[in-house]
Structure 1
């Protein structure tokens, strides 16, 4: 059976959905139709996460090898075969499982300022009506209890941001030339360069330019909750009208209804203090200047 030869392993809320969307368009790349199989994190497990809305991850996660291999049954003559799952960067057992199944795999990482990442994570769950605590600092204070109560990984706002510790697990197992690390700023400020470099890394045609007008998975607080529910939750009218309105149009309406409150300087400083040592570790690992992540502004 066909198995992937590259993985986008994280980080969450750093642009992995955008990369998945852009890579899907390349004729020499096969991506699993759905993002986040979670296979290398939860192989062989029976999932029973208990957080708000966690039934979804219990249901959609792929935990057996046969089902995972079937996700790649549609591969034809593509050169690069992959999936995107930001849990892999965070999960401590994923690197070893990946190495056992895919010893020659190429790994792609995109990192975001961990304070901004944590806040975007929080706003994502607010957007989806799962995070009932509207005060970010209160949600952070409840994180340890939520973890203890077996809430799924996406609730681990602070813990997900320790990239240095997480990346070291991969550098300890895989050759450095098999790991490609980008920053969220690369995606935002020089997306064409990032994609060209990434296509070269995957050994596919680097001149291909995907449609980058679609920016999926925006986080934020809905200005109009009724409109948001209508646009995002299953309903008959949405199903019937979908063929009449292109995805880009529907996305534009959804995004225009989201507002992103600024992260307060006090909370940012609190998070920077937590992450400072790990940021410096990460900086040394990837050879990129991350001093901007240590600034409160």
Structure 2
């Protein structure tokens, strides 16, 4: 039997509309069909860039009760991929299954991006945030080397640090005015600006509460991974396990190639670091010989 899909005066009938909806559903991306069945992130490693978030995310994904993000380290949803929508984001996580208790991701641009913290607070009201902070001058040098290696920087370290104010002029304002705008300079040339940790951490505290933010010192994490991971496990609500193959290590640096710039940066960061030390959850200080 053939059923007509024509309605009155040639308009599509309800049956036609229903068949069209079924066809669209069949052709829809898998993430739109299955997103509601996915786990909701319980934690986010939100920063900082070149602070150790990659290592921490990798270690966390090894915990038997932590479901890994399906696209590796992180989705960058709350910063550069927000336009893809919530279903796209949810589809990047696993379906609930034993023995998984929690899931999450790491995108170190989150704590620095002008829109990301508010988006996180709005969409994940119960999420816990992990912040990994590295001594800011060393972090700036590490980012610089990374940007050179990936083709995003052609200036010398001294030139890049000096050029930062001009490169960033008006960029944050543009991002705030146009949420879809992606600033190349803000993402790749922020050697000093990303080291304003107190400002970024205060914003996270204001949005989600300091009790839902764990601050991990990068240097302590690499010096004693088991101790720092024990803090992380308790914070995200999983059993305290000890991972095999994690040994104390010192973060590599070649900053001696630019000693004058590093000394100037440490002097410049010193008062900003004092602001950081006064914030809740910060129980460490960086000891620098040339600050």
> So what's the TM-score if we normalise by structure 1?
0.72
1:98 to 117, 120, 125: 120
1:10-49 to structure 2, matched below 5 A, reads: 10-32=47-69, 33-42=71-80, 44-45=82-83
Aligned-residue offset at 1:187: 1.4
- Conserved 8 A contact 1:12-1:87: yes
Aligned-residue offset at 1:180: 0.8
2:91 to 67, 70, 75: 70
Q: Secondary structure at the match of 1:41?
A: coil
Tell me if 1:123 matches 2:160.
Answer: no
Q: Secondary structure at the match of 1:138?
A: helix
- Conserved 8 A contact 2:217-2:284: no
Corresponding residue for residue 184 of structure 2? 151
Residue 84 and residue 291 in structure 1: after superposition, are their counterparts in 2 closer, same or farther (change >3 A)? closer
2:276 to 273, 278, 282: 282
Corresponding residue for residue 218 of structure 2? 184
CA deviations over 1:184-228 (Å, ceiling 9, x no partner): 11112111101112112122121231433699xx877xxxxxxxx
- Conserved 8 A contact 1:283-1:289: yes
- Conserved 8 A contact 2:67-2:94: no
1:115-264 to structure 2, matched below 5 A, reads: 115-133=137-155, 135-148=156-169, 150-152=183-185, 153-212=187-246, 260-264=254-258
Residue ranges of structure 2 left out of the alignment (5+ in a row): 1-35, 172-182
Tell me if 1:292 matches 2:287.
Answer: yes
Corresponding residue for residue 5 of structure 1? 42
Corresponding residue for residue 267 of structure 1? 261
Q: Which has the larger radius of gyration?
A: 2
CA deviations over 1:38-90 (Å, ceiling 9, x no partner): 21124545xxxxxxxxxxxxxxxxx4211111001444231121000111111
Aligned-residue offset at 1:109: 0.7
Residue 75 and residue 262 in structure 1: after superposition, are their counterparts in 2 closer, same or farther (change >3 A)? farther
Which of structure 1's runs of 4+ aligned residues deviate more than 4 A?
A: none
- Conserved 8 A contact 2:53-2:108: yes
- Larger RCO: Structure 1 or Structure 2 (Cα < 8 Å, ≥ 6 residues apart)? 1
- Conserved 8 A contact 1:109-1:182: yes
Whole-angstrom distance in 1 between the partners of 2:266 and 2:230 = 32
> So what's the TM-score if we normalise by structure 2?
0.74
Whole-angstrom distance in 2 between the partners of 1:287 and 1:67 = 35
RMSD of the alignment, in Å? 2.4
Residue 96 and residue 289 in structure 1: after superposition, are their counterparts in 2 closer, same or farther (change >3 A)? same
> Aligned residue pairs: how many?
237
